[in-house]
Amino acid sequence: MSGRVLIVDDEERLLVILRHNLEQLGFEVEVAGDGTQALRILRADPAFDAVVTDILMPECDGIELLTSIRKLYPEIKVIATSAPGNELFLESAEVLGADAVLEKPFDTEMLAVKLKGVVGA
């Protein structure tokens, strides 16, 4: 598998684990702690195949990030994630153009399958 992925989540431990595991699978991975930081990264270098974003975050949340990505970088695939009980947020993400959704908790293999599905990695 391959591809360049930006993972956005306010849970630092999750970012560390996903980055390590996805890199082991052959992905090039960058991480951001919120949507504001993610947009700064994308503005500096928009050459990402996919963004995996949590929906509920402080500052700029995943819905705001998704909306911005769709306006500024429509070619980038987006996978929205959220904890159980937040199905309405995931449904909103789909309506706003998320290419896939994934409910937490998920493992790296589940995420890799979603990434492969949206970017053909």
User: pLDDT for 4-36, tens place per residue?
Assistant: 999 999 999 999 999 999 999 999 999 999 999
Written in H, E and C, the secondary structure of the chain is CCEEEEEECCCHHHHHHHHHHHHHCCEEEEEECCHHHHHHHHHHCCCCCEEEEECCCCCCCHHHHHHHHHHHCCCCEEEEEECCCCHHHHHHHHHCCCCEEEECCCCHHHHHHHHHHHHCC
CATH of domain 3-119: 3.40.50.2300
Q: How confident is the model at residue 1 (pLDDT cuts 50, 70, 90)?
A: low
**pLDDT number for residue 22:** 93
Work out the average pLDDT over 93-116: 91
